[in-house]
């Protein structure tokens, strides 16, 4: 007989008004069925709604508590760990508790149903299929194509879905072939198909570690039995980090513990998925947004029931219900996608750290360009730095050449391509090799740049670029609000060649097509790609050499291997350098390093050409010489001087409204309330900046104003700020929204 008579629950309603536990009486007959984490049905006002038990009490805290109506599932849907974690997330990242609980629930909550898919298995020898395919090609092309594809598939066959895509065939063609006895159609549960498909080979099972890998491995192994369990693995692209991750996961499985493996985006890492499903066949779950909800639910359940011991997934998988975690790996730890844009605006790294501490697990963060945040922690000895500075097998990083566009300008070349890049493209095309042209970002943001000296106009007090606005024409700082007229001549060298600058991929595409009319060109950016899978289609078309030039934004920089690419050209390295964001230098370095890693992955040596008006910039120089360590020193120094993260923390408030004046007014009001509360708590007035119009001043028809609170140990004041926020939201009139982002990665 349990003695707890009351349960505290969080209601499944996203609203400030109910963002706190409510107490309910547990009726006698339910007492054995409820515990912390159980989902129950409760009466609230005149409705019945779901709620999650977060605590148990013996005494009532209010009079006349109402009764729980029923339990929704017999087992607690939330592990105790997630009750604690969700609370922590909600406080740290300013969300409601229920929003954080939602992160811990199964995807597509409750809609469990295994979906079956058709799988096509060949019934005859490949040779016979090929023969028949030749015979019927003229009369029945689709059938011929099906046979052709089946002939090269392995004995497990192909999913109909895939076959349909590859051949354009309809069901009728398939049925005809079945009638003729070439194949059979089988129904297979979908999740088993997609995950165990490649479970055959245990790729690279017996790779012998290089000397460097071995050294790193010894350190990681030590971590399993010592209190120093956090590692930052800085390893250049292609240095064999993945092999270490896999080995570490094998190690924890041997100990009977589980492993969580996080990547920035599943779609961009097909090789890693293959390697994991290969090595951990049968104990592996993939949490992937492109699976259907039912499938994702099945995967989630496998994890919760302890059938899957290794989980691979993107950001949200950090909430996977693994028990007894021994290892958390976070690959490409510097990536922005690890931070969620919507409430709760959590950072995966923070959650991973929390969980690693909870389970006493090893946390292994890896990157070729680690974030400043993580790097700084290695200095403070909270995290141990491990290094891989070579590629196994003596392969080399590509040579990088920086082209000074100021010189091109002086030589009257006002086009997009320098002579050097133009010539290199021609040579590459004539050798029938491929080119990637990279543009840093879809240039929505402009700035004033002098084409003589390369200087970009900066805010006098914030060390970020001033953003150029055309209506009415002016320059503005989006951190502090400073505003001034545009320059007619360069404030640095007095030349008149000062222009507003901002270049888009479409413009590049147009120019490429006119200069290289016979080359096949593909453009890839989020404008050009809509719809699921469009991205992969473009990439595979390029890999199959259906085009020789790929133009793209940062999407092309990610984990893909194109063995045919021997030239990577960066059109304008400056565009991301001059975003009004103090992380612009870091991001530029990361992007350039990554994009440089795309060249020369195959047999041929690769070549990288970076065009820039600021060849002297430390981000560009360091990326060109593959010199992370000198970059990081420089960048850390700068941040320290201006007290930017990681030397401080930032809380960014965003006030928005469909009416500009309303957004501005409410931001001003909020700031004064903030000052009123915080100044007595020893916060100095210059730690609270703004309000200023956000760099993206209007999004979805809402005007946006920013207030910035920047300082050390902000969390000590979070409780006060949270209360202020609640009151403010309740009292503000009209359609005004206030959101808060702790340590935002984007200041736009």
Using CB under 6 A as the criterion, which residues of the chain lie in contact with ligand ADP when the complex forms?
Answer: 204, 207-210, 213, 235, 237-243, 392-393
From the list ligand ADP, Zn ion, none, which binds 718 (C-beta under 5 to 8 Å, kind-based)? none
| Selected range binding Zn ion among 310-318, 471-479, 547-555, 636-644, rule: CB under 5 A | 471-479
**What does 490 interact with, of Zn ion, ligand ADP, none (CB < 5 to 8 A by kind)?**
Zn ion
Q: How far is the CB of 664 from Zn ion (least distance, A)?
A: 17
Judged by beta carbon, residue 7 or residue 388, the one nearer ligand ADP is: 388
User: Which class for 104: exposed (0-12), middle (13-18), buried (19 or more C-beta within 10 A)?
Assistant: buried
Of 287-295, 349-357, 452-460, 575-583, the segment contacting Zn ion by CB under 5 A is: 452-460
SS3 224: helix
Alpha carbon distance 592, 439 (integer Å): 10
Q: How far is the CB of 332 from Zn ion (least distance, A)?
A: 31
| DSSP string over 670-686 | HHHHHHHHHGGGT--GG
Report the distance separating Cα 678 and Cα 672, nearest Å. Answer: 10
Interaction partner, residue 625 (Zn ion, ligand ADP, none; CB < 5-8 Å by kind): none
Give the total residue count for the chain: 748
**What is the β-pairing status of strands 483-484 and 474-476?**
antiparallel
**What's the min distance (Å) between Cβ of 687 and Zn ion?**
15
Rule CB under 5 A: is residue 482 a binding residue for Zn ion?
yes
Query: How far apart, in Å, are the Cα atoms of 676 and each of 173, 298, 482, 731?
Result: 74, 51, 23, 17
When the beta carbons of 241 and 339 are compared against ligand ADP, the nearer one is: 241
Q: Round to whole Å and give the CA distance between 384 and 174.
A: 57
- Our CB check for ligand ADP shows the closer of 209 and 482 to be 209
Q: Tell how far CA 522 is from the center of its chain.
A: 24
Tell me, what DSSP letter sits at residue 267? G
**With CB under 5 A as the contact rule, which of the stretches 116-124, 278-286, 446-454, 693-701 interacts with Zn ion?**
446-454
CB 464 to Zn ion: min, Å: 7
Closer to ligand ADP by Cβ: residue 593 or 619: 593
Which listed option, Zn ion, ligand ADP, none, makes contact with residue 207 (CB within 5 to 8 Å by class)?
ligand ADP
Does 472 sit behind a cis peptide bond, omega within 30 degrees of 0 on the bond before it?
yes
> Counting contacts by CB under 5 A, is residue 401 touching Zn ion?
no
Q: Which is nearer to ligand ADP, 247 or 669 (CB)?
A: 247
Residue 492 binding Zn ion, by CB under 5 A:
yes
167, interface contact from ligand ADP, Zn ion, none, CB < 5-8 Å by kind: none
CB of 611 to ligand ADP, least distance (A): 26
Binding of Zn ion at residue 584 (CB under 5 A)?
no
With CB cut-offs between 5 and 8 Å by kind, which of ligand ADP, Zn ion, none does residue 453 bind? Answer: Zn ion
- Considering only 77, 397, 439, 480, the residue that binds Zn ion (CB under 5 A) is 480
Query: Which residues fall within 8 angstroms of residue 126, CB to CB, at 6 or more apart?
Result: 150, 151, 152
Minimum distance from CB of 210 to ligand ADP (Å)? 5
Stretch in the footprint of Zn ion (CB under 5 A) among 64-72, 431-439, 479-487, 504-512: 479-487
Describe the crossing of helices 171-179 and 141-152 by its angle, rounded to 10 degrees.
70
In the complex, what is the shortest distance from the CB of residue 361 to ligand ADP, in angstroms, rounded to a whole number? 21
Q: How large is the greatest C-alpha to C-alpha distance in the chain, in angstroms?
A: 89
Least distance in angstroms from the C-beta of 395 to ligand ADP: 8
237 binds, among Zn ion, ligand ADP, none (CB under 5 to 8 A by kind): ligand ADP
Q: Are the C-beta atoms of 108 and 81 separated by less than 8 Å?
A: no
Q: Where are the alpha helices (DSSP H) in 334-410?
A: 348-359, 372-379, 405-410
Asked if 493 interacts with Zn ion (CB under 5 A), we say yes
Q: Cα dihedral sign for 7, 12, 14, 15?
A: negative
Name the phi and psi angles at 475, rounded to 5: -115, 145
For residue 738, the cross-strand partners are 655
How many residues bind Zn ion, per CB under 5 A? 15
Q: Which does 452 bind (CB under 5 to 8 A by kind): Zn ion, ligand ADP, none?
A: Zn ion
**Cα gap 557→598, rounded to integer Å:** 7
Beta-carbon count within 10 A of 578 CB:
29
- Residue 229 or 241: the one with the smaller Cβ distance to ligand ADP is 241
Q: Whose Cβ is closer to ligand ADP: residue 87's or residue 209's? A: 209
Q: Binding partner of residue 450 among ligand ADP, Zn ion, none, CB under 5 to 8 Å per kind?
A: Zn ion
The pair of structure tokens assigned to 13 is: 């309603």
Q: Which does 193 bind (CB under 5 to 8 A by kind): ligand ADP, Zn ion, none?
A: none
Q: How far is the CB of 486 from Zn ion (least distance, A)?
A: 14
Q: What minimum distance in Å lies between the beta carbon of 452 and Zn ion?
A: 5
The option from ligand ADP, Zn ion, none interacting with 710 (CB < 5 to 8 A, set by class) reads none
Q: Based on the shown chain and the rule CB under 5 A, indicate whether residue 567 belongs to the binding site for Zn ion.
A: no
Closer CB to ligand ADP, 208 or 700, in the complex: 208
Question: If we measure between CA atoms, which residue out of 369, 511, 500, 515 comes closest to residue 443?
Answer: 500
Instruction: Check binding of 479 to Zn ion (CB under 5 A).
Output: yes
Whole-angstrom Cα distance, residue 162 to residue 138? 23
In angstroms, the CA 589 to CA 632 distance is 10
Report how far residue 493's alpha carbon sits from residue 138's, in angstroms, rounded to the nearest whole number. 71
CB of 155 to ligand ADP, least distance (A): 26
Per CB under 5 A, does 459 bind Zn ion? yes
Residue 452 binding Zn ion, by CB under 5 A:
yes
Report the nearest approach of ligand ADP to the CB of residue 38 (Å): 42
SS3 2: coil
- Residues 716 and 497: their CA atoms lie apart, in Å, by 49
Q: Which does 482 bind (CB under 5 to 8 A by kind): Zn ion, ligand ADP, none?
A: Zn ion
Task: Identify which of residues 208 and 733 has a Cβ nearer to ligand ADP in the complex.
Answer: 208
517 binds, among Zn ion, ligand ADP, none (CB under 5 to 8 A by kind): none
DSSP bridge partners of 699: 702
Instruction: Look up residue 117 and give its two tokens.
Output: 């898919």
Give the alpha-carbon dihedral of 123, 129, 135, 141, to 10 degrees: 90
- What, of ligand ADP, Zn ion, none, does residue 481 touch, CB below 5 to 8 Å by kind? none
The answer to whether 694 contacts Zn ion (rule: CB under 5 A) is: no
Per CB under 5 A, 453 contacts Zn ion: yes
CA angle 218, 223, 226 (to 5 degrees): 125
Is residue 450 within the footprint of Zn ion (CB under 5 A)? yes
Q: Residue 235: which of Zn ion, ligand ADP, none does it interact with, CB under 5 to 8 A by kind?
A: ligand ADP
Which residue stretch of 7-15, 300-308, 458-466, 560-568 sits at the interface with Zn ion (rule: CB under 5 A)?
458-466
DSSP reduced 3-state for 708: strand
Angle at which helices 80-92 and 718-731 pack, to 10 degrees? 70
Q: Which does 239 bind (CB under 5 to 8 A by kind): ligand ADP, Zn ion, none?
A: ligand ADP
Residue closest to 242 by CA, chosen among 393, 388, 395: 388
- Estimate to the nearest angstrom the gap between the alpha carbon of 276 and the chain centroid: 19
462 scored as a contact of Zn ion (CB under 5 A): yes
Query: How far apart (Å, rounded) are the C-alpha atoms in residues 193 and 116?
Result: 9
The residue ranges that bind Zn ion (CB under 5 A) are 450, 452-453, 455, 459, 461-462, 477, 479-480, 482, 490, 492-493, 495
């Amino acid at each position: 007989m349990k003695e707890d008579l009351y349960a505290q629950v969080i209601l499944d309603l996203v609203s400030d008004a109910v963002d706190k536990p409510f107490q309910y009486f547990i009726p006698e007959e339910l007492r054995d069925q409820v515990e912390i984490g159980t989902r129950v049905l409760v009466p609230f006002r005149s409705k019945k709604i779901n709620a999650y038990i977060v605590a148990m009490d013996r005494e009532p805290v209010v009079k006349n508590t109402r009764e729980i109506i029923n339990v929704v599932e017999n087992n607690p849907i939330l592990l105790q760990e997630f009750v604690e974690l969700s609370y922590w997330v909600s406080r740290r990242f300013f969300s409601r508790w229920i929003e954080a609980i939602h992160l811990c629930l199964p995807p597509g909550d409750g809609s469990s149903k295994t979906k079956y898919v058709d799988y096509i298995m060949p019934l005859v020898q490949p040779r016979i299929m090929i023969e028949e395919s030749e015979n019927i090609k003229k009369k029945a092309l689709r059938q011929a194509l099906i046979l052709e594809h089946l002939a090269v598939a392995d004995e497990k066959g192909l999913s109909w879905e895939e076959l349909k895509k590859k051949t354009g065939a309809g069901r009728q063609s398939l049925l005809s072939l079945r009638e003729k006895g070439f194949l059979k159609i089988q129904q297979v549960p979908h999740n088993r198909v997609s995950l165990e498909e490649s479970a055959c080979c245990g790729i690279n099972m017996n790779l012998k570690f290089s000397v460097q890998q071995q050294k790193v491995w010894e350190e990681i192994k030590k971590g399993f039995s010592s209190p120093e369990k956090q590692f930052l693995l800085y390893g250049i692209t292609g240095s064999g980090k993945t092999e270490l991750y896999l080995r570490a996961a094998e190690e924890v499985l041997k100990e009977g513990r589980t492993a969580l493996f996080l990547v920035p985006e599943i779609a961009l890492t097909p090789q890693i998925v293959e390697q994991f499903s290969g090595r951990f066949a049968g104990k592996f779950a993939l949490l992937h947004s492109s699976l259907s909800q039912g499938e994702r639910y099945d995967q989630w359940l496998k994890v919760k029931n302890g059938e899957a011991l290794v989980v691979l997934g993107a950001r949200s998988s950090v909430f996977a219900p693994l028990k007894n975690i021994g290892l958390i790996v976070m690959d490409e730890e510097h990536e922005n996608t690890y931070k969620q844009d919507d409430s709760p605006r959590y950072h995966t790294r923070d959650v991973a750290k929390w969980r690693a501490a909870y389970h006493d697990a090893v946390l292994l963060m890896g990157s070729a360009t680690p974030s400043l945040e993580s790097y700084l922690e290695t200095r403070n000895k909270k995290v141990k730095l491990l290094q891989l500075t070579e590629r196994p097998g003596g392969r080399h990083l590509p040579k990088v050449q920086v082209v000074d566009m100021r010189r091109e300008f002086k030589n009257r070349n006002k086009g997009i391509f320098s002579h050097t890049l133009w010539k290199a493209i021609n040579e590459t095309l004539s050798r029938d090799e491929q080119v990637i042209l990279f543009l840093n970002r879809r240039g929505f943001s402009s700035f004033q740049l002098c084409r003589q000296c390369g200087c970009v106009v900066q805010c006098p007090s914030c060390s970020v670029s001033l953003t150029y606005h055309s209506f009415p024409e002016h320059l503005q700082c989006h951190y502090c609000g400073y505003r001034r007229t545009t320059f007619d001549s360069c404030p640095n060298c007095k030349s008149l060649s000062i222009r507003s600058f901002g270049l888009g991929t479409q413009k590049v595409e147009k120019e490429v097509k006119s200069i290289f009319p016979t080359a096949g060109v593909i453009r890839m950016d989020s404008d050009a790609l809509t719809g699921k899978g469009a991205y992969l289609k473009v990439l595979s078309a390029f890999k199959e050499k259906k085009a020789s030039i790929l133009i793209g934004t940062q999407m092309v920089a990610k984990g893909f291997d194109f063995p045919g690419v021997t030239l990577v050209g960066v059109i304008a390295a400056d565009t991301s350098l001059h975003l009004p964001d103090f992380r612009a230098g870091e991001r530029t370095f990361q992007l350039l390093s990554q994009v440089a890693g795309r060249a020369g992955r195959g047999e041929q040596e690769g070549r990288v050409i970076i065009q820039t008006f600021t060849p002297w910039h430390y981000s560009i120089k360091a990326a060109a010489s593959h010199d992370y360590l000198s970059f990081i020193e420089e960048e850390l120094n700068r941040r320290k001087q201006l007290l930017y993260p990681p030397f401080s923390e930032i809380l960014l408030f965003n006030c928005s409204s469909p009416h500009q004046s309303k957004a501005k007014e409410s931001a001003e009001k909020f700031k004064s309330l903030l000052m009123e509360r915080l100044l007595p708590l020893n916060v100095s007035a210059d730690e609270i900046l703004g309000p200023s119009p956000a760099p993206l001043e209007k999004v979805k028809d809402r005007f946006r104003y920013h207030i910035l609170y920047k300082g050390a140990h902000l969390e000590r004041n979070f409780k006060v700020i949270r209360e202020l926020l609640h009151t403010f939201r309740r009292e503000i009139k009209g359609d005004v929204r206030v959101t808060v982002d702790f340590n935002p990665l984007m200041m736009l």
